[in-house]
């Protein structure tokens, strides 16, 4: 079973944010075109504060086209 684009983005964003972070907000922008097949996911932290992590991510098709992008805010655990 294939995961939705949003679920795939959430997965790569969570890895980028780290184990001590929990998702507080996720905004997904969907690209145009076919989304079937393997997608390459990439995510990075834009900035972090003592209690919040701001991350960006994207899923790209094999041809390099953007399938979806996302921005997320995570809360650090224990803060």
- What is the dotted CATH code of the domain comprising 5-76? 3.10.129.10
8 Å CB contact between 41 and 4: no
Cα angle vertex 34, ends 28, 37, to 5°? Answer: 95
Provide the 8-state DSSP code for 32: S
Looking at residue 3, its pLDDT comes to: 82
pTM, whole model, 2 decimals? 0.88
Q: What is the pLDDT of residues 1-29, one digit of tens each?
A: 368 899 999 999 999 999 999 999 999 99
């Amino acid at each position: 079973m294939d995961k939705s684009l949003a679920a795939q983005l959430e997965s790569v964003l969570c890895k980028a944010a780290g184990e001590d972070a929990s998702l507080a907000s996720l905004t997904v922008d969907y690209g145009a075109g076919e989304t079937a097949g393997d997608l390459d996911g990439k995510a990075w932290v834009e900035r972090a504060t003592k209690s919040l992590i701001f991350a960006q991510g994207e899923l790209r098709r094999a041809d390099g086209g953007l399938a979806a992008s996302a921005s997320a805010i995570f809360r650090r655990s224990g803060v």
